Structures are given as structure tokens and as C-alpha cells.
Amino acid sequence: MLAHLIVERLSRRVLPRVPEPSELVVMDNLAQNEAFELVGREDGILASIYLYQALQITSLVNPGNRVLDLGCGPANLLAQVAQLIPQAHFIGIDASPGMLNCARQTMKRCGVANIEPVLGDMTTLAEFADASFDCVISTMSLHHLPNEAALSAALCAARRVLKPEGGLYLIDFGRFKRATTQRFFAEDRSDMQPENFTRDYFNSLRAAFSVDELSRAMQAFGDGVTRYTTALAPFMVIFKSAACREPDEPTRQVARELYRRLNASQQKDFRLYARWLRAGGLELPLAPC
């Protein structure tokens, strides 16, 4: 991986964005939904990355807060956040009825009751009033949008429903410069993931917005949001507002338990991923290990 990242860093080429095939944008294919839900489960290959994102979000959410997740999908990640902060109320919006069905199953499996799945369009958020959320999050959903206009509309809508001084955490892929890098990341663990997921992963990397495109759309939020990327190359791009709280001991206890449930390989992935983002300037608000 390091060799790919170094070559990526030195490359001057610019790949055009390739939006996902139209049938994948809403993600309402049963086999596709099942593959995505499977890799995000507690024993899936994305579990360590999901736990990392959940821990980042804990510093932005206070007990009693109302939080909106843009493109919640099967809610594997959102369920972890809900377990970490059980006194907050989470609304997960998604355009796919199938994904929301998966989200309800995830809630039942994880024993969480503080998530409300809602069918809707993240580019309008028409269901929600202005300044009605204490925090807005989005994890790996923005690349599903068809173009920059839709990206800008989604972030303007998010700004509208977020309270002044509210928390913000957005993460998505950044667009690589080389198709070989995209192919490497999509296929690196193809023996551990469903074939449908490998194909969709590659399509997602091709559909990623560039760091500049994401940053332009983020201007809707003005100052107060910091951008981070993974070191050497923007595999992940994160926009995060300033922390509003220090995670309390109950949150830390749940974090340690969620980390202990990861197997040895997942724990190693968690530590490597945390170091990669730390090298890009982003520190974890709490260490579960």
C-alpha cells in the first residue's frame, strides 16, 4: 500500500470523476444492500473503521442532543454511535427503502432504540425544520451524489437544519489520481469481502469528489470546520468542527467494550488507520485500547 501512496503523492495526473451507475446511486438492490451490510457488521472488514469514526463523533454530541446522519445506509456505524451516547436521539436519513430495512435490523441486532430511520433526500432535507439539529454527520455517503451541484445542495441543506454552533462531522473518499490506486484499494481484500462489495467499492472510489470539490461545497459552513486527510494521499477526507465535550467515563467504557469485541486483525486495522489519520493531523478524542 505504501508504494501506491508514494506514487500517488508524486503523480501529477488528474483523473476525471466517474459518477456511479444510476442503479447504484440509491442502493436499493437486495444483493448489494446485503453485501454492504455484511462488511459493516461487527465481524466485517469495515468494523474497525466504523469504530474509529464513531469515536470521533463522540466529541461532538452531548447527551440529549438531536443528531442527523446523512445517508445512514444499514446503520452499522450509527448503531455504534448510538451505543456510545445512548442519551442522544439519532435520525438516519436514506433514499433507499431497502437500506432502511437493513437499518431496522441492525438496530434490533445491536439492541439500540435511539435511532429513527427516515426515508428522504439529503439534497433537500425537506422533512426537517431550520436549525433543528445539534449535530450533522455523514460517513461515506457524499460520493453517491451525482454531481457537484447535488453535493453543494446537500451541504447547504445540512447547514440549514444545523443549529448555530452545532457540531459537524463529514467523511468521504477523496479522488485518487491514478486508476491503479483505485483498483488496488478496491481489490486489496477481495478474498475477505463479497464480490458485489468489491465492485461497488471500485465504483465508489471512481465517483469520489476531489479534495478541492469537497472543500468548495463545504464553504456553506463558513469558518470553524477543519479539513483533514489521510497522510500522503486523500484516501479519506474529513471535515470536523471543534469538539464540544470531553467523552465521559460511561462513553469510554462502551468504547473499550466495542474495541474488545474486535478480533486481533480488526484491532490492528484500527490502530493502523488511527495512525494514518494522526499523521494527517487528526487525533482521536479517546483511545479505546
**pLDDT tens digits along 102-125:** 999 999 999 999 999 999 999 999
Q: Which of 108-117, 139-148, 193-202, 265-274 bottoms out in mean pLDDT, i.e. has the lowest?
A: 193-202
Contact 107, 115 (CB under 8 A): yes
Q: Is the pLDDT of residue 283 over 80?
A: yes
Q: What is the mean pLDDT of the chain?
A: 93
Q: What pLDDT sits at residue 29?
A: 61
Short-list 43, 131, 57, 36, CA closest to 284: 57
Q: Which of 17-31, 195-209, 247-261 bottoms out in mean pLDDT, i.e. has the lowest?
A: 17-31
For 225, phi then psi, to 5°, come to: -120, 130
Q: What is the share, in percent, of the chain residues with pLDDT greater than 70?
A: 94
In a domain, 216, yes or no: yes
In a domain, 11, yes or no: no
In a domain, 52, yes or no: yes
Q: Is the pLDDT of residue 253 over 60?
A: yes
* Whole-structure pTM value: 0.94
Owning domain of residue 72: 23-278
In a domain, 6, yes or no: no
Sheet holding 115-119: strands in order across?
A: 115-119, 89-94, 66-70, 133-139, 162-173, 236-241, 225-229
The tens digit of pLDDT for each residue in 148-190 reads 999 999 999 999 999 999 999 999 999 999 999 999 999 998 8
How much is the average pLDDT of 11-40? 72
CATH number at residue 235: 3.40.50.150
Q: Domain total for the chain? A: 1
Q: What pLDDT sits at residue 31?
A: 63
In a domain, 287, yes or no: no
Query: Could you tell me the pLDDT band of residue 22, with boundaries at 50, 70 and 90?
Result: low
Q: What pLDDT sits at residue 18?
A: 96
In a domain, 1, yes or no: no
Q: What pLDDT sits at residue 132?
A: 98
For 27, phi then psi, to 5°, come to: 55, 65
